[in-house]
Structure 1
C-alpha cells in the first residue's frame, strides 16, 4: 500500500533528524496541487514559524543552503499564499537572479502563479526575512506579518492574493526535491521500437494510408485543448518530420490567451515537392475556463459537422452562424471531422480547474453523440518527468508518466490505451529520432481510430 504524503514527510523528518512534532498545515489536496505545479517533486517541512519563531535568524538557521524552497503562508482570513525560489539562501550579500521564482495564491482549489517581471532581481541574499523581489516580505520585522513594499518585481493584486489581511496565522518553508517516485517499471508498460527503421516504417505506412471510405480522400483530425497545451506545436512537429527539418508554419508559443484565433485546416505534404499526405490537422482556438473566453463550445458542433470554413475567425462571445443555404445541406462525410484529439499538458494535469474539466466533459458528450473517434495527446512529458527529460526513451518505463496517463484517463473518461504521451518540437533546431517515433506513433493511431469511425459511418449508410 502506498504511503501517504504525510507518512512520507514524517519518515523524511525522522531520517533527517528534524522530527520536532512538525505538522504541516498544508492539506493533502493543496500539497498535491503545489507539487504538480513544481513538477515531480517532494516537499519536506524545514521551518514552521509557530514552532521556530518568526525571527529572521530562526528562518536562516533552518533554511539556509537547502536548495530550492517553497514558502507557504496562511493568514487569519483563510488565504493560503507564498512563493518559490530555486536559488538557496546563503546570506551571501549578493543580488540574486532567479528566472524560476514565482509567487502564488490559492484561488479555490487552484494555485494561481505570478512570475517575476523581466529585469528584476529575485532578492538580496542577506540575513533578513524571506522576501520575493524585495517586494513581498514574510515575517516582516520579525512579526507574524506580510508586507508589500509596493515594488514592481511582481504584478500582484494584494486583495486577490491575501485579501489585504496582513496578519499571518502561520508561515512554513519546505525544501523542494525531485521525487524519489521518479522510478522505472521493471519492464516497459508499452513497447516501442526506438529505431530509424521503425521511424521509416511509420512514415511509409502514413504515406500509403487510404481511408476505408472511398468518398474520403483525407482524414480530418480536430485538435482541441487548453491554451498553451501544444495543438499548433503538434502540427508544426508533424510537418517538420515530413519536411525533414524544423518548421514553424502554425503560430505557437506561450501566452495567457490563445495564439490561435482562427479555425485552420493544415494539410501536410510529403516533403517540399511531395504530394499531400492523407490527413488534415484542424487547429482550434484554445479552451479557457472563463465564460466568454477561448473556444465557444457551441462552435464545436459546427466544426464536427463540417460547417466552419478554413480561416474562420472565432468570436468567444458569439458562436458561428452558418448561412441558411449551407446549414440546410448536410456536409459530406469528406468535410466532417473523423477523429478528435484532446491535447493536454502533462505538467498541468493536476492543476486543471473544475470549469475547464466541465468544458472538456461537455465537448466529450457532443463528440460521443456523433460516434467520432477520440484520443488524448499528452504533451510536454519531458518537462513533467526528469527521467524522461534525460532520455525520452524512458517515457514508457517511467512510473510517474504512467500515473499521469492513468490520471488523464480517469479525468476525461477515455481508455488508458487512448492516451498517447508525446514531446513536440519547441526549442530544437534539429530533428530527433525519439521525438519522431513518439509523434508518428500517435499520428498512426489517429488514422487507425478515424478508420474505425469511417467504417461505422459506411455501415450506417449501407443500412439506410
Structure 2
C-alpha cells in the first residue's frame, strides 16, 4: 500500500497490516504522531493485494514447506480501507509542487501577451546594433550557471523563436556533469533577412563542486583570452601556452554582459561551493565593470499555475518569492532578474514563452550598450 498527503513533503509507502500495535505517522510539517491501537487511519493511496504463505506442511522426509494461500480484500483488510494496525517501513521524500496563491496585483508590469508585442520584441532584437563609437560588431553575452540550469536551453529557445520552430542546436538535457565542455559562441540567424543577429550567446561548462569550470578560466573568458571551442579541463585552468590563447584580445573578443542562469526550483539547495564560486565570479565581473543579469528558469516546477499557463508568471506569489530570493542570494537588483521559460516539453512555439525570452534578451542588450558606452 502507499499513501500520499497533499501539501506535505513525505510519502509513506509499503505498509503491513500486522505487527505493531501503534501507528507512527511521518509528517513533513508536524513531525511524528502516534495513534493508539484503538485508533484507525483511512489510507488515500492504493491497495495491491498479492499472495501470502500462511500454512506450514510437513512432507514425508519431515521437512516443512510453506503452502501458498490466496487472499482477497475481505480476508486481508476486513472489508474497508481503514488501517487499525499499521507498520510504516519506508518513508520517502516527495516534493509536491505548490499551487501558488495569486497576488492581488502583478508584482511586475505585465507585457501584452499578443502577436504585435512579440513582433515588436523580435524587431528590436533583429535590428539591434552595438553603439557605433566602438569597433564591436557583435556583443558577447556569457551564460553562466550550475549544471542543468538551462544555459544551452536558453540559446535553443532564442534560436527556435527566430527559426519559427523548435530547434536543438546546443546539446541540452539532464546529466550529473556538464554536457557542454567547450566554449561556444553561438550566433542566431534571422531567416527574414538572411543575416545573423549582432549578438553571440556564449555557452560554456557549467558550475559544479568537483567537475566544474575553474574560476581562473572564467576570468580569461571575460577578458577574451580563450578562443571558441577551447576544451575546458576541470583539473587545470588555461595558460598562455594553451592552444589558441589570445594574448592581446580586442574589445570585440571580451564579454559585454554576463547572464547567470539559475534553476528556480533549486535556489534553496544550491551547493555551498557553487555559491562561493559565484561570488568569486561576481568579484571578477564587478572589477571589469561588466553588467550582470539573472535568467530565472524552471518556474513551472515551483508553481502549478505557471505550468498550466505561462501568462500567470507575474501574478504568481511563488515566482515573486523566487525572484526576491535569488536577488538576495546572488546580490543583484530585482529589476535585473528575468523569469523565463525555456522550450523543453513543448513541440511547437508559444507566444508567451517567446515574449518572456525576448524581453530578457532585449534588456540584456541594453545593458551591453551601457558597458560599451563606458
With the shorter chain as reference, the TM-score category is 0.7 to 0.9
TM-score by length of 2: 0.78
Cα distance in 2 for residues equivalent to 1:263 and 1:175: 37
Contact 2:186–2:200 (CA under 8 A) maintained in structure 1: yes
Q: Is the aligned partner of 1:365 residue 2:295?
A: no
* SS class of match (1:437): helix
Cα distance change of structure 1 residues 272 and 266 upon mapping to structure 2, 3 Å threshold: farther
In the alignment, what sits opposite 2:122? 203
Higher relative contact order (CA 8 A, sep 6+): 2
Q: Is the aligned partner of 1:295 residue 2:278?
A: no
Cα distance in 2 for residues equivalent to 1:283 and 1:399: 31
* SS class of match (1:363): helix
Measured after TM superposition, the shift of residue 376 of structure 1 is 0.5
Contact 1:243–1:272 (CA under 8 A) maintained in structure 2: no
Cα distance in 1 for residues equivalent to 2:368 and 2:149: 22
* SS class of match (1:313): coil
Measured after TM superposition, the shift of residue 420 of structure 1 is 0.4
In the alignment, what sits opposite 1:12? none
Residue number among 191, 203, 207 corresponding to 1:283 in the alignment: 203
Measured after TM superposition, the shift of residue 426 of structure 1 is 1.1
* SS class of match (2:183): strand
Q: Is the aligned partner of 1:193 residue 2:112?
A: yes
Contact 1:342–1:376 (CA under 8 A) maintained in structure 2: yes
What does 1:348-387 align with in structure 2 at a 5 Å threshold? 348-387=266-305
What are the Cα deviations for residues 122-170 of structure 1, in whole angstroms up to 9, with x where unaligned? xxx9x89xxxxxxxxxxxx9889x7xxxxxxxxxxxxxxxxxxxxxxxx
Measured after TM superposition, the shift of residue 225 of structure 1 is 0.4
Measured after TM superposition, the shift of residue 176 of structure 1 is 7.1
In the alignment, what sits opposite 1:92? 48
Q: Is the aligned partner of 1:64 residue 2:57?
A: no
Measured after TM superposition, the shift of residue 356 of structure 1 is 1.3
Residue number among 431, 436, 441 corresponding to 2:359 in the alignment: 441
Measured after TM superposition, the shift of residue 428 of structure 1 is 1.4
Cα distance change of structure 1 residues 355 and 318 upon mapping to structure 2, 3 Å threshold: same
Measured after TM superposition, the shift of residue 296 of structure 1 is 1.1
Cα distance in 1 for residues equivalent to 2:251 and 2:346: 38
Structure 1 gap ranges (5+): 1-7, 10-22, 27-42, 66-87, 96-124, 129-140, 147-170, 457-464
In the alignment, what sits opposite 1:331? 249
In the alignment, what sits opposite 2:233? 315
In the alignment, what sits opposite 2:176? 256
Residue number among 258, 261, 264 corresponding to 1:343 in the alignment: 261
What does 1:124-163 align with in structure 2 at a 5 Å threshold? none
Cα distance change of structure 1 residues 327 and 235 upon mapping to structure 2, 3 Å threshold: closer
Cα distance change of structure 1 residues 391 and 326 upon mapping to structure 2, 3 Å threshold: closer
Structure 2 gap ranges (5+): 1-6, 9-23, 52-72, 78-84
- Could you say which structure has the larger radius of gyration? 2
